[in-house]
Amino acid sequence: MSPKTKIAPCVKPGLPRGVALLHDPMLNKGSAFTALERDALGISGLLPPEIFTMEEQETRVLENYQRKQTNLDRYIHLTGLQDRNTTLFYRVLIDHLEEMMPVIYTPTVGEACQKFGHIFRRPRGLYASYNDRGHVAEILGNWPQADVRVIVVTDGERILGLGDQGASGMGIPVGKLSLYTACAGIHPSQCLPVTLDVGTENAAYREDPLYMGLRQRRVRGEDYYAFVAEFIEAATERWPKALVQFEDFGNTTAFHLLERWRNEICTFNDDIQGTAAVTLAGLLSALRLTGKPLLDQRILFLGAGEAGIGIGELIATAIAGAGATPEEARRRCWFVDSKGLVVKSRSDLASHKVRFAHDFAQIPDLLGAIQALKPTAIIGVSTVAKAFNQEIVETMSRLNERPIIFALSNPTSKAECSAEEAYTWSRGNAIFASGSPFEPVTYQGKTFVPGQGNNAYIFPGVGLGVVATEARYVTDRMFSAAAAALAEITSRGDLEMGRVFPSLKRIREVSARIGAAVAEVAFSDGLARVEEPDDVFGLVQSKMWIPRYTDYLI
């Protein structure tokens, strides 16, 4: 053997070589490929010579990240990393989740959707347009992954509180699935973001030369539902173990689709059920601060859409669980919508509101409803910025020693009030939570850390429990169990700071514990398609992917 002859190390089978390897984001390690791997995989010379550890790569990513001037630029930067090196993207995201969640998800993702056609770099996810009807199965056949376990699908009609974004809404399923992976360790290759493009009512988009979806008004009615059904049937045929999460549909279609499919396939709607669970958890935590029982609560919602009605249903179930009759429990939840208090005598109520239309006088506005009903908590899910004004917060503070004020509308610009307003106007007595994040507030020497009623506390853990057990359906009992687990994890220390949720730093632990609570329900209710192990928590944890580079040599 001449001194120059090298013995080529063996590489794991099935790996692409050369540039193809560097261009595969799931396999690419960038400058972290070892010298032996570079030789064996035909990439020597295609990378700068120095070899870096993942930690060093992370430092470089962060340096670039911090140099960006706006959150939208940070979003584009992180998306670029996700497109190049998925493992490093998730390492960075998990290590800096609290800082980066508002960038990859609400509120920045809302801006990213609004500018989607203008900042577009590379496609991500799958688009089925109405023009593909009759051929959706073929479209799904083009997706390269055989073992999809979580599908997040939107039709873009009601993106956050921003209204109809049409095909530009794709940012939402993409962002949500990033959170499934970062928070609960669902493997990225098992996640599929989908946009059903049926047109848009957003005339500005239809006229924008860079808009990337169908330039027509929305398909409605039977044709619309038939198209969604075609997608669901094709998706569950190809990926029978997949959980299908509905996301940001308009409120009429969202309720209809959930009712149509929830007992047929493994599905849930995060805007309805996920929001409900996180809000119930926040309420249960708040009651640890007020010391008052759930049975004595009277909750007034501003907004009777998906979020509001979903929360009302779950809270009513919880109140009934605490000893009230179902009717009494529902009478503890009241709604004000754009026309005033939701009451029986109104003739203009959409069907999803009717269950909460009580016998009571018509009252045209929120302040009047607060004065008449004397609620212990007000929950804003209306998309109406500043609707909780000084008079509202002061009135709530006169009625309650510790008023519970949740301003959940997203993004930040739509919040019913800010954290600072809630604490200042209530003289530091409000128990406040919001949908989008707010900075800590110091009032009269005390610093309050507002809790963010972020659905990311719930849906990744629920998804993990469902994936681990291959559950047939997603049930309300699973969401109640998830809410109870989340409230239990919130520590005394969190509560003392004013925060009704645990720190997002603990999100992997939170998701694992919620996953286990959901898995327990799946096993006890006979919904699991895998054998029940002795250690359910261990099963759930074993399904959590950790972003680490693997060695490509044998």
Q: Which residues are annotated as catalytic?
A: 105, 176
Upstream peptide bond of 102 is cis (omega within 30 degrees of 0): no
Choose which of 435, 463, 498, 515 interacts with ligand NAI (CB under 6 A). 435
Question: Smallest distance from the beta carbon of 456 to ligand NAI, in angstroms?
Answer: 9
Closer Cβ to ligand NAI, 410 or 469, answer by number: 410
Q: Where are the beta strands (DSSP E) in 231-329?
A: 243-246, 267-269, 299-302
Question: Is 409 one of the binding residues for ligand NAI (CB under 6 A)?
Answer: yes
Read off the tokens for 11: 């590489």
Is residue 414 near ligand NAI by the rule CB under 6 A?
Answer: yes
Other Cβ atoms within 10 Å of 223 Cβ, number: 11
Report the residue number, 302 or 500, with the smaller CB distance to ligand NAI: 302
Question: Which residues lie closer than 8 Å to 27 by C-beta, 6 or more apart?
Answer: 15, 16, 21, 552
- For position 161 contacting ligand NAI by CB under 6 A, the verdict is yes
Quote the tokens at residue 241. 């173990």
Work out how close the CB of 304 gets to ligand NAI at its nearest, in angstroms, rounded to a whole number. 4
Distance CA 518, CA 176 (A): 19
Q: Which is nearer to ligand NAI, 170 or 536 (CB)?
A: 170
543: contact with ligand NAI by CB under 6 A = no
Please identify, using beta-carbon distances, which residue of 192 and 387 lies nearer to ligand NAI. Answer: 387
Phi, psi of 172, deg, nearest 5:
-70, -55
CB of 279 to ligand NAI, least distance (A): 7
Please, which of residues 23-62 interact with ligand NAI by CB under 6 A? none
Q: CB of residue 150 vs ligand NAI: minimum separation in angstroms?
A: 18
Separation between Cα atoms, residue 200 and residue 156, nearest integer Å: 8
Q: Which residue, 535, 498, 502, is CA-closest to 519?
A: 535
Question: What would the two tokens of residue 227 be?
Answer: 């198209």
Q: Which residue among 247, 337, 416, 421 contacts ligand NAI (CB under 6 A)? A: 337
Q: Report H helices in 262-305.
A: 275-290
CB of 175 to ligand NAI, least distance (A): 13
**Residue 308 engages ligand NAI in binding (rule: CB under 6 A):** yes
Tokens representing 331?
């009478």
The stretch among 204-212, 303-311, 464-472, 519-527 that binds ligand NAI (CB under 6 A) is 303-311
Contact pick of 303, 375, 403, 498 for ligand NAI (by CB under 6 A): 303
Is 408 one of the binding residues for ligand NAI (CB under 6 A)? yes
- Rounded to whole angstroms, the Cα distance separating 441 from 114 reads 30
- DSSP E strands in 233-348: the ranges are 243-246, 267-269, 299-302, 333-337, 340-341
Strands across the sheet with 333-337, in order? 340-341, 333-337, 299-302, 377-380, 404-407, 431-434, 451-452
Q: Among 202, 275, 400, 469, which residue sits at the site for ligand NAI (rule: CB under 6 A)? A: 275
Helix (H) or strand (E) holding 380: strand 377-380
Q: To 10 degrees, the CA torsion angle through 514, 271, 242, 518?
A: 20
Q: In the bound complex, what is the minimum distance in angstroms from residue 228's beta carbon to ligand NAI?
A: 18
Nearer to ligand NAI, 65 or 246 (CB): 246
Under rule CB under 6 A, residue 405 binds ligand NAI: no
Closest CB 399 distance from ligand NAI, rounded Å: 20
By CB under 6 A, residue 278 contacts ligand NAI: yes
Work out which of 158, 176, 262, 543 binds ligand NAI, going by CB under 6 A.
Answer: 158
Is residue 302 near ligand NAI by the rule CB under 6 A?
yes
What CA–CA distance (Å, rounded) separates 177 from 173? 6
* Cis bond before residue 547 (omega within 30° of 0): no
Q: Which of 100, 174, 284, 304: binder of ligand NAI (CB under 6 A)?
A: 304
Binding flag, residue 498, ligand NAI (CB under 6 A): no
Q: Can residue 453 be called a binding residue for ligand NAI (CB under 6 A)?
A: yes
Binding footprint of ligand NAI, residue count (CB under 6 A):
29
Residue from 271, 416, 494, 520 touching ligand NAI (CB under 6 A): that is 271
Give me the residue whose beta carbon is nearest to ligand NAI: 305
Please, what is the minimum distance in Å from the beta carbon of residue 462 to ligand NAI? Answer: 14
Cβ at position 59, least distance to ligand NAI in Å: 33
Among 28, 200, 251, 253, binds ligand NAI (CB under 6 A): 251
What does the alpha-carbon distance between residue 356 and residue 308 come to, in Å, rounded to a whole number? 11
Give yes or no for residue 384 binding ligand NAI (CB under 6 A): yes
d(CA 478, CA 485): 10
Residue from 315, 378, 381, 478 in contact with ligand NAI (CB under 6 A):
381
Q: Which region, left, alpha or beta, applies to residue 125 given φ > 0 means left and ψ of -120 to 50 means alpha?
A: left
CA dist 513 → 387, 460, 469, 473 (Å):
36, 11, 14, 20
Residues lying near ligand NAI in the complex (CB under 6 A): 158, 160-161, 251, 271, 275, 278, 302-308, 336-338, 381-384, 408-410, 414, 435, 453-455
